[in-house]
Structures are given as structure tokens and as C-alpha cells.
Amino acid sequence: MTGLTVFSIVLVLVPLADIIYLFVIKGLEVISWPALTTITVGTGVEFVGGGISNAISGTVVLMALATAITVPLGLLGGIYMAEFSNNNKFSEALRFVSDVLAGNSSMVVGLAGYFIFVLYFGWGYSALAGALTLSILMFPYVFRTTELALRKVPDDIREGARALGSTKSTTINRLTLRFAMPGILTGILLSVSIGLSETAPLLFTASFSNYNFNGSFLHTPVGFLTYIVYVYSQLPSNSAHNLAYLSSFVLITSILLINIVARVVVRRFSKV
Amino acid sequence: MMKPEPEPVHRVASGQGTREREILDHERSKGLTGDEGGLIRLQSLCAYYGEQKVLDEISLSIARNRVTVFMGPSGCGKTTLLRTINRMNDGVRKFRVTGQVLINGTDVYSSEVDPILLRTRVGMVFQKPNPFPISIYDNVAFGPRIHKLTKTKSELDQVVRESLEKAALWEEVGTRLNKSALELSGGQQQRLCIARALAVKPEVILMDEPASALDPGSAFKVEELMVELKENYTVVLVTHNMQQAARVGNEVAFLYRGELVEFGPAEEVFQNPKNALTEKYIRGTL
Amino acid sequence: MKAGGSWRRTADRVYALVSALLGSSALLFLFMVLAVLAVFGVPSIIVNGLNFFTTVIWNPGISTTLTTIRGFPAMSGASYGMLVFFSGTLISSGLALLIGAPLSLGVAIFLTSVAPKRLSTSLSFFVELLAGIPSVVFGFWGFLVLAPLLFNYVEPAMAQYLGFIPGVGGPVYGYGLLASGLVLSLMIVPIVSAISRDAMAQTPVELKEAGMALGMTNWEITRKVVLPYAKTAIIGSLVLGLGRALGETMAVVLVSQSALNVLPKTLYYPINTLSAFMAVTFDSALTDPSGMEVNAIAELALVLFIITTTANIVARLLVRRGFISSAEHLVQV
């Protein structure tokens, strides 16, 4: 029986190791300063080459915008859940709705994002449409991890502050939030890595662009890394494949980095 | 805001900020600074959790600068009684109070009393030491900071130092104020919590079995501290430890099943209990 | 002081209100998503009716004439049936569960009962790392490595030696159902094994000791004490994993060969799923002169939403704290 369990862990680890090995090897082969700093040339139909700076800058802009939208919503929402809601019916409903959102296909959300932001609001394919769609997907993670992190702060700290005449607001802002911060930060990092991994919801909201982000958030398509992996992996030319390898490499290393940062944050701050 | 008056007040004068003046002004404006037979008077106090009555018609008077002890077996309502004095049970689901808790003649449950300000006058120390997981200094400075009791850093330093001194902790921690409070021993943590309560300059300190989670040595130190504190403060102590009640208490109230069975000077209650229940409790046969 | 007191109470109330309001964005998001899909889906629901659920053929009929059906513009030759995508979604996710469940359980048992503590900690980290890899990268790997491997070695061997089993014989394609199921199974292993591992680790020590006192071996304790104890949580985690597989898009797009108008007859057949089809087709659907293909895709999205949400609700009922513990896992990733 022990053999079978060893067999399953090997079966899981081998593909994982192969994925990491493949994209690290290929990524290191094709990585170069020009490839990271020049824009993509050509489209799917013709020869594709150049670099991925348009996708990197677009991804950075999309993620920054989506995080800036998600964090206040999720953070304050989580504060409500843990500190104010007293587990009332409304908060149970919110928790349920948030779980439904998190458990859904990102494609469904992406399609809705197209209808709402691109079409109905008339923003066209744009950074804002893409970022808002992403934040719908990222919200549940910040929301729930904030609640969980706050709930882990012992109640006698709240009692102690209350006995000193601290209002709920003051206790939250000066004490509870501070101690829940490692957990909250991990939640935010987690949501960023979720957003970074998404492809489908951006296809019809951000579209794609061969040009670097030009500062306009509306009516201008933006590039992103997962698009390059998705589309250029299926093109026949080597130069297109190389861009897909490079983008995979950049994605994997950034997500790995985020994971490591999250772990360090938890380790460092969990022992006050 | 009312303008401060240069009248003598019963508070320690150092580090007086505007908030404190407000409180004092308020007291004076209501003309309620007199003792009127006790700093704290409970009148026909009843408390309920839902339908269940947990305190039944409690009336007693707590004198200034004394240690008053609430004792009784667990579940007798002594902690609930203590927590009605600074309204810590506000917001507990289905909890309600009837009757009066008068401090300086003002009913703390009347609509014009702000529980937040009440708690700056009535400090509390809990059974389990609950220092905030921040530095020792920040723990003590927490109250003065949120209530803006001090104007300058040196004023705040002064308050922190005085509070730690009064809590008999300065000698031990004065050189490492920036260390985390969690590095202190249990007994030190409890004295830190006392210092933290003193820093907002309360008149009354409520203590809910403050020594029961400590080792005997630390417990003894906290007991000593209670006796010292009554010089400047009014101490109300909840305990189930009779020896402790006898050692530190000036007045002792014995509660049983939500009722006040007996209340009087400690020597009388312990040596000459009037009620058979009290006698049984003291003899350990209840 | 009166004013001061009420100001503070107001501050707390404002804080509660504002935070409740921002937390309610969950409701707003879900409402927006559902409302807009319903609005765009309604023409398709009315025009296609029940045929939508029983038809194999999906053909927007671009070159046919524009007419009006039940009050909505539509192409005269169009046919919208979701059967290929619906069945592809269920079959590929079912296959993923079939492969992923024993794998995850094996991993969970290995991590809780077999591996020494240090090895277990670092292996958990690697397995959870798997969850962080973007699905499109998974798909790219499947496209580059797994599908060719299946096509050249695995599938021919399976067809030859196991071909007597219905559905396992026949021509091989590499890119198709088996590849999709395998990639999806890898993607659900981290979440399923993490929740199962935690549930198993929570087995009370007394229960295990009782097993030891009865002279049970380590393996017997796992099978007769730990697994039954964690059963509900494990099933819940499986349903949660199923929910992920049902909604997965990019990995499937890259390894399924995007089948159209044909139902899978063997394990190797090209397939398509609801989400993968939406991703691939939406751009061209926008060029449909009647607009009906966009409406039909919105209806597909509604169907997918109902399937994944049902799976989620079932998982929630099975693991009372399932989502909390899964979120905790994700925090620890």
C-alpha cells in the first residue's frame, strides 16, 4: 500500500518537475534583454517575432489596476465579515455569493465582462475593462482571506482595547488589522497570482495589442502574457514559440516569486 | 468645547489633555463630584441574558480608595456584576440591565453617558493577561494615544513611565521598552496590563481574577500591587480565592446564584458571617 | 461630551456601513454577471428552446438568409445545440476525477501517514506549487509534451492491448479526451489532496490509538480509522475539484482539438467543453449578422454557471467548512 502512495506522489511530481524544467530551460534559452524590452512584431497570420515588452507592460498595468480595485473592496468587505457582521444572515449570504464567484469558470465572468464593460459601458477592449473583469475574479480571495486572518486575532485583544475606551473603529485600525496583516497580505498576493494566471477573461475584455501600454485606460486594447502563451504556442513558427516559452518562463517565475514572498511574509510576521 | 476651570480636581493632574478636561467638565456641569456615600453605588441592579436572570436586585456601595471584593462560587454572577460597572457587556447578545450603577451619582446606563469615556474612568484588568502583541511602550501608550491625552512625545514618555512605575514594572522593563510585550513572563504581562489601564488615568480599576492564571510568586506580586493601588485608585476585585479576598479586601461581597448574600467589612464577613450560606462557603462546604 | 460620544458612535456605524457596502460588491458582481448573461441569453432561450439541449450540431448558418424567428433576428439555416460541449465538459471532468481522485488520495495518505515530517512539508509545498501554475501553461505543456507522448506511445499501446474494452480501441489522436482528462486531473490534485490531507490530519489521536490497541497495522488504521473519519471532507474536496475541472478553459483548449458537431466515441476522440468552446468561438460569433450566436454563447455560459454552482453547493454541503479550509490552504500556498 505504501508503494501505491509513493507511486501517486511520483505521478504527480514528475509532470510538475517536467513543466518547471521545460519552461525554465526553454525560457533561459530564449531570454535576452531585447526580448524583454521590445514589442511583438506581426500577428498570428504573418510571421511573429520581436519581444514581449507589450505583454509585460500590459500585464503590469492590468494587475496594478485590478489589485487597486480589488484590495479596498475585499479588505473592507473582509473587515465587515469578521468585525461587524456578528455572523448574521446577510454575511452568510455574502460568504455564499463570494464562494460561488470563486468557484465559477473565469470564462463565464470574462464573457459577462465583455457584455458589461466593453459593450454596455462602451469602453471597448481596454485596460479598465480587463482589470475590472479580473477584479471580479480576484475579489473572493482577498475577501475571504481577510476575514479568516482577522478571525484568527484573539478576542481578548479586542476586549483589552475596548476596556481602555477604544472604539471598534480604533481597535480595528490600530490593533486587529495590524496583526491580521500577514494573512491579509498573503491573501492579496494569492489573488494577484490568480489574476496573473488568467487568460480567458482577458481575451474579450483586454483583447491584445502589439504596442506597449500608452497610458490610456479606455478604448485601447492591451497586451498580456498569457495571451502570448495561448495564441503563439499554436502558431507554426519557431519565433512565435520562443515568445510563448519566454512568456511562460516570466509567468512561472513571477508566480513562484509571489509564493515565496507570501511564505516569507507569513513566517516573518507570524511570530511577533 | 467647554473651557477648563482651574478648580482642584481629584485626578492626578499631570498630562491633562483636552479629552480629560471634557470629562471633568462634564462631571462638574452635572454637579456630581460629591461622594454621596460611596464612589460607586449599585441600586436594585438586575441583569439578564435573554429570559435568564443572572443578577437579582443587587444594591451595594463601593467606597473610594478601598479594595472591594466580589466573591462567590463560579456562575454566581460576580464577573457579570463587575462588567456592568464599565458596561463591558454592552452589545452582548440579549444582555440587558435594569436598576442603576451610579458613579459619582451619575447612572452609567443613562443616555448621556458615553461608554467609551466611562471606560477611561473605569479601567479593567482581565483574568488572562492580554497584552497587545506590540512593544511594551506601545502597550502602555495605547490608551493615551487613542484618547489624545498627551500633546508631546516627552509627555507621553512621562505617562508611560509613571504608569509602569505604579504597576511596579518599571524596574524590570524600563530599559527594554521597545521589546515585544509577549516576551514578558505571565506575571509581568499582567502588571503591564495594569500599567496600560493606569495610563488613561482612571479612578476605578476593575480586576477580574487577575492573579488566577499566574504562578504563586507572580500572583503575590499582583496582590501586593492591588493594596498599593488603592492609595490612588478605587479597586474592585473579583475572585474565587478566599485567601486572596481576605488578604487584600477591605469590603467583601458574597454572591450566590445572582443574589447578594452578604456585604460588609472583610474581617466581619470572614470572622463573623451573618448568613449561613456565607459561612458554608467560607468553610468550604457549600 | 455628548456630541463627542455620538460622533464616535457614528464613526463606528459609518465604518460598519461602508465595509458592509464594499463587501456587498460580491452580491453586485454576481448580480451583474447573471443579469447580463440572462439578458443576452434570452433570445437564444426563446428561439432555440429545448433543441438547444438536445442538438449535436452547432452551426451559425452565416451564409444563409437573415430572418426573424419568434421576434428575434436569426439566420434561417442556423442550428444551436450544446450537446457536444455539454457532454465534453461532463466526460472530461469525470475522467479527470476518475484519475485525479485516487492520485490525490494517494498523495494525501503519503503526506500524512507515510512520509517523514520534513519530507512531507517540502513535498506539500511542491504539490501546492502545482496549483499556482497558470492553466494556459499547463495547456502549453500538454500541447508540447503530453499529447505527443500519448499519441506516439501511450494511446497506441492502450488501443492495442486494451482495445477489447469499449471505447478504448480505435484510432488514436493524441489531442483529445484522454489528454484533456489527464491535464485536468493534474490541475485538481493540489486542491483535493490539500483538503483531504488536512481532514485526515485532524483525526483525533485517541481514535488512532484505539486502532493501535486493537493491533491494527499502520495501513489498517489509515483505511479503517483515518479515511472514514475524513470521508465527508474528502468527498467534498473531490466535488470542489470537479467544479474546477468543469470550468477550466485554456488547458482544455490547447489539448482537446476543439471538436465540433461530433460526439466522442472513444477515449481518444477530439472533444470540446462549454468554456473552451466559448473562448475559441466568441470572436467569430461577433461577426454573426443576426447576433444569435452571441446569444447562444451567453446561454452556454448560463448552463456552465448552473453546473459549476451546483457542484459548489454540493461541495459546501459536504464539507461544512470546506470553503474556509480550502481558502486557508490557498493562504498557506
- Residue pLDDT, tens place only, B120-140: 999 999 999 999 999 999 999
Could you say which residues from 91 to 120 on chain B have a Cβ atom under 8 Å away from some Cβ of chain A? 93, 116-120
Note the pTM of the prediction, 2 decimals: 0.88
pLDDT on residue A270: 60
**Closest by Cβ to A105, choosing from C16, C297, C308:** C308
Interface check for B116 against chain C (CB to CB < 8 A): the answer is yes
Query: Burial of C240 by CB count in 10 Å (0-12 exposed, 13-18 middle, 19+ buried)?
Result: buried
Residue with cell 456601513: C17
Could you say which residues from 140 to 159 on chain B have a Cβ atom under 8 Å away from some Cβ of chain A? 142-143, 146-147
Query: Dihedral of the CA atoms A29, A35, A37, A41 (nearest 10)?
Result: -160
Q: Which of B4, B23, A54 is nearest to C5 (CA)?
A: B23
pLDDT on residue C320: 61
Question: Which CATH number does A48-270 carry?
Answer: 1.10.3720.10
Query: Any idea what DSSP says for residue A172?
Result: I
Query: Dihedral of the CA atoms A78, A83, A86, A92 (nearest 10)?
Result: 0
**Burial per residue of A56-85, b for 16 or more beta-carbon CB atoms within 10 angstroms, e otherwise:** bbbbebbbebbbebbbebbbbbbbbbbbbb
Query: Any idea what DSSP says for residue C73?
Result: E
Total residue count of chain B as it appears in this document: 286
> How many other CB atoms are found less than 10 A from the CB of residue B93?
7
Whether the predicted interface score ipTM is above 0.90: yes
> What is the radius of gyration, based on Cα positions, of chain C?
25
Structural domain that includes position B221: 18-128+203-283
Shortest distance between the Cα of B111 and any Cα of chain C, in A, equals: 9
Cβ of A161 and B182 within 8 Å? no
pLDDT at B19 over 60: no
Q: Which of A74, A103, A90 is nearest to C322 (CA)?
A: A103
- Residue pLDDT, tens place only, C117-160: 899 988 888 887 878 899 999 999 999 999 999 999 999 999 99
Widest CA span of chain B, in angstroms? 58
pLDDT on residue B91: 80
- Residue pLDDT, tens place only, B34-89: 444 578 999 999 999 999 999 999 999 999 999 999 999 988 999 999 999 999 99
Is C249:C89 a contact under the CB 8 Å cutoff? Answer: no
Chains that touch C (3 or more CB pairs under 8 A): A, B
User: At B157, which amino acid appears?
Assistant: D
Q: pLDDT above 90 covers what percent of chain C?
A: 64
Q: How far apart are CA A40 and CA A209, in angstroms?
A: 9
- Residue pLDDT, tens place only, A111-120: 999 999 999 9
pLDDT band at C254, cuts 50/70/90? very high
Interface check for A236 against chain C (CB to CB < 8 A): the answer is no
pLDDT on residue B2: 43
Q: What Å distances lie between residue C43 and B84, C61, C69, C188, C288, CA to CA?
A: 64, 17, 10, 35, 14
For chain C, give the mean pLDDT. 89
B286 Cβ contact list (under 8 Å, min separation 6): B73, B256, B277, B280
Query: Dihedral of the CA atoms C266, C272, C275, C281 (nearest 10)?
Result: 180
Interface check for B90 against chain C (CB to CB < 8 A): the answer is no
Cβ of C5 and B22 within 8 Å? no
Chains that touch A (3 or more CB pairs under 8 A): B, C
Q: For B88, which residue in chain A has the nearest alpha carbon?
A: A163
* Chain B residues within an 8 Å CB radius of C1: 22-23, 25-26, 112, 114, 117
- Determine the straight-line distance between the first and last CA of chain C, rounded to whole angstroms: 49
Interface check for A105 against chain C (CB to CB < 8 A): the answer is yes
Query: Burial of B43 by CB count in 10 Å (0-12 exposed, 13-18 middle, 19+ buried)?
Result: middle
Cβ of A163 and B180 within 8 Å? no
Cβ of A163 and B146 within 8 Å? no
Q: pLDDT above 70 covers what percent of chain B?
A: 87
Q: pLDDT above 90 covers what percent of chain B?
A: 73
Query: Does C83-332 carry CATH code 3.40.1440.60?
Result: no
Query: Burial of A45 by CB count in 10 Å (0-12 exposed, 13-18 middle, 19+ buried)?
Result: exposed
pLDDT at C291 over 90: yes
* Chain B residues within an 8 Å CB radius of A174: 142, 146
pLDDT at C103 over 90: yes
Cβ of B126 and A159 within 8 Å? yes
DSSP H helices in C49-116: 51-54, 83-109
What residue segments make up the domains of chain C, in order of their start?
2-80, 83-332
Which CATH number belongs to the domain containing residue B107 in this structure? 3.40.50.300
Could you say which residues from 4 to 63 on chain C have a Cβ atom under 8 Å away from some Cβ of chain B? 4-5, 8
Query: Domain tally for chain B?
Result: 1
Q: How far apart are CA C95 and CA C245, in angstroms?
A: 10
Q: For B116, which residue in chain A has the nearest alpha carbon?
A: A165
Q: For B135, which residue in chain A has the nearest alpha carbon?
A: A272
pLDDT band at C198, cuts 50/70/90? confident
For chain B, give the mean pLDDT. 86
pLDDT at C115 over 50: yes
pLDDT on residue A53: 95
Residues of chain A scoring pLDDT < 70 = 44, 269-272
Shortest distance between the Cα of B84 and any Cα of chain C, in A, equals: 19
Shortest distance between the Cα of B20 and any Cα of chain A, in A, equals: 13
Beta bridge partners of C42: none
pLDDT on residue A106: 95
- Residue pLDDT, tens place only, B139-187: 999 999 999 999 999 999 999 999 999 999 999 999 999 999 999 999 9
Q: What Å distances lie between residue B279 and B1, B60, B78, B254, CA to CA?
A: 53, 20, 18, 10
Q: How far apart are CA C214 and CA C221, in angstroms?
A: 10
Q: How far apart are CA C255 and CA C252, in angstroms?
A: 5
pLDDT on residue C199: 86
Is B121:B277 a contact under the CB 8 Å cutoff? Answer: no
**Cβ–Cβ pairs < 8 A, chains B and C:** 18
pLDDT on residue B25: 44
